[in-house]
Structure 1
Amino acid sequence: MEIIDRWWQAVLAGFGGTEPLVLAPWPVLGLLALCVLLTVPRATWRIFGLYVTFVHELGHAFAALLTGRFVHGLKIRLDHSGELVSSGKPGFSAVFSGFWGYPAPAVVGLGLVASTYFGHASAALSIGALVLLGSLVFLRNWAGIAVALCSALAAQLLVLYTPVRAMGWVVLGLGLMLLVGSVRDLFKVIGVHTRRRELVSSSDAYILATRSWLPAWFWLMGFTVAVGGSVVLSGWMLAAMLA
């Protein structure tokens, strides 16, 4: 079909590279305001937060695959909770895959910001479109499939129809939104351990504590370092791109 051929050619063209972004202060402030508007208010977070949860669960899935675990599937629920089912040897692989949930949106956000800094925004968009499309094989519930389909469709449309000059801005915006979303989720999981203890059994930090000899606060610190480091590095690159 012609549309599939156009899409594939657009994906391949994305690996040709783009010019690094040179930013002016006011457009960056406007972009940051838009990112906050989409990620902080509860009404918009109900929608965009599902994408952040999707990236969170994909972080678990890819970390599991990297350590030789078999991924049976993942679920995403409309209340922003998720579940990955994988099997393999207990110990390091289970702990490693369990850790890379909350840091995943921040690390991906850092990668997207870095791609605009180094002039590879179009490649990042193409890779993201392929990853989101491929991730559909992991989904095992209807809500998760709907979230994945919407995310994958949005990524494919961005690859097809984003003008070359706007590519860097689109990728930068996506990266910043994931970074803000990751910080919001980090505060949420810390709040579960400090104020909403009745929900602590569903926390990744609590689950990691049961799989290792390290306490939950250690894993919360690990999440904080990974997310905070991604935000700081992204901020440094954003400042370096300012004209």
Structure 2
Amino acid sequence: MNISGDPWNRLLDAFSRADAPSVTLTELVLALVVAAALSVPRRSWRYFGLLATATHEMGHAVAALISGQRLSGIRLRLDHSGTTTTYSRSRLASAWSCFWGYPVPAIVGAAFVWCGFNGWGPAAIMAGGLALAASLLFLRNLAGILITVTAMSASVLLILLVPEAFVGHVAVILGVALLVAAVRDLIKLAHLHLRRRERLASSDAYLLWRATSVPSGVWIILFAALVAGSWLWAWQPISTVLYAGA
């Protein structure tokens, strides 16, 4: 990709498959360290966790639209909480959209890792930016707009300013960070059900129990299974580099 070329052409070219990056063991280890640095320490999680929340709520929103529900609005807050409001006469449809919150950051993360290793890193970054842009139609608070516009701007700047060969590495870093974020949020959810039951009204698993009569623990296990499956998917290209460098 020609960094000095026309910006619109560079953004459009991002959707084309690039040469798959040659990721060395050292580069992979550095990428994993950076991903952990984004999603584990409290100070960095304060900011990166906002992207994980946005991805979580977009999972609810997309599932609602797929199932024919009316999407009233999305609210993202700076304390990492969020709300997606939908309307449906079907309990099954409501349960469907309620379910696709916690698994989606892990699924998106695994997709980013796969794309990063297979030459689709720029396309993944741009697709994420477009999805964020579409969500602006449904955002109903200033904090949500600020979070989303910041993430969109970062996506565009990555494509315009970062060499194509390195964008794949960035996609891997973001993907692993989202996978870690999904585990972190699952632990938080389990802690809510075990130790902070007075706040269960904010839990997707609790809302699913109310909608279906299936115990919250079953839903948490299903969330965990999809997160684990996403980690397994992401592990395939990662393990190839690890074994090659061993």
User: Considering the TM-score relative to the shorter chain, is it more than 0.5?
Assistant: yes
Structure 2 equivalent of residue 238 of structure 1:
238
Q: Sequence identity of aligned pairs in percent?
A: 38
Question: 2: CA distance between counterparts of 1:231 and 1:96?
Answer: 22
TM-score (norm 2): 0.92
Counterpart residue number, 1:122: 122
Query: Which runs of at least 4 in structure 1 moved beyond 4 Å after TM superposition?
Result: none
- CA drift of 1:23 comes to 2.2
Aligned to 1:34: 34
In 1, the alpha carbon distance for the partners of 2:122 and 2:146 equals 25
Which amino acid counterpart does residue 86 of structure 1 have in structure 2?
A: T
Displacement after TM superposition at 1:6 (Å):
4.0
CA displacement, residues 65-109 of structure 1 (integer Å, 9 cap, x when unaligned): 111112111001111110001112322211111001011110000
Distance 1:118 1:165 in 2: 12
CA offset at residue 140 of structure 1? 0.3
Q: CA 1:164 to 1:93, structure 2 compared with 1: closer, same or farther past 3 Å?
A: same
Say whether the 8 Å CA contact 1:117–1:241 is kept in structure 2: no
CA contact (8 A) 1:76 1:141 kept: yes
Aligned to 2:61: 61
Structure 1 unmatched runs, 5+: none
1:106-132 C-alpha deviation (Å, 9 max, x unpaired): 000011111123321122122112111
The RMSD of aligned alpha carbons is 1.5
Q: Secondary structure at the match of 1:15?
A: coil
For residues 6 and 215 of structure 1, the distance between their equivalents in structure 2, rounded to whole angstroms, comes to: 55
- Provide the secondary structure at the position in 2 that maps to 1:73: strand
SS in 2 for 1:145: helix
Matched, 1:108 2:108: yes
Unpaired runs of 5+ in structure 2? Answer: none
1:7 and 1:159 in contact (8 A); partners too: no
TM-superposed deviation, 1:198: 1.8
Q: Report the residue type matching 1:166 in the other structure.
A: F
TM-score normalized with structure 1 length: 0.94
2:70 equivalent in structure 1: 70
Q: Distance in 2 between matches of 1:191 and 1:168?
A: 35
* Counterparts of 1:132 and 1:156, CA distance in 2: 12
Map of 1:157-176 to 2, 5 A cutoff? 157-176=157-176
Q: Which amino acid in 2 is paired with 1:44?
A: S
Residue 227 (structure 2) aligns with: 227
Deviation of 1:8 (Å):
3.0
